[in-house]
Amino acid sequence: MLISLLLDANLSWRSTVALRTHFDSCFHVDDIGLLNPAKDNEIWDYAKRNGMLIVTNDEDFYYLSMLKGFPPKVLLLKTGNQSRKFIEQLLINSKEPIKIFVESLEHGILELI
């Protein structure tokens, strides 16, 4: 199964380069043609249409997932204020749990701490 990441606006666009070498694809919301700033519902719909996993530290996507179900799935970063490199390494080190999460038919949200 492919793992395509869509990084929310609250994450650095610079991370896409590092993450593309570890995941099938990685885009930032600024790269996908939505108006800036993109609304959460627009990001949600784009990720759903394109089979992408939303990566965010914005709990609004948690509530959207509770309201709408999945897809798309949400990878919610509960790391607090951390550096771009820290976030990149967390995602890279969590690749196997992320793969299991993407394949799961039961879970729509994965929290990484």
Q: What is the pTM of this model?
A: 0.95
Q: What is the pLDDT along the chain (113 residues), one digit of tens a residue?
A: 799 999 999 999 999 999 999 999 999 999 999 887 889 999 999 999 999 999 999 999 999 999 999 999 999 999 988 999 999 999 999 999 999 999 999 999 999 99
Q: What would you report as the CA-atom Rg of the chain, rounded to the nearest whole angstrom?
A: 13
d(CA 84, CA 97): 20
Residue 4: phi and psi, rounded to 5, are -110, 120
- Please report, to the nearest 10 degrees, the dihedral formed by the alpha carbons of residues 20, 25, 26, 29 taken in order: 150
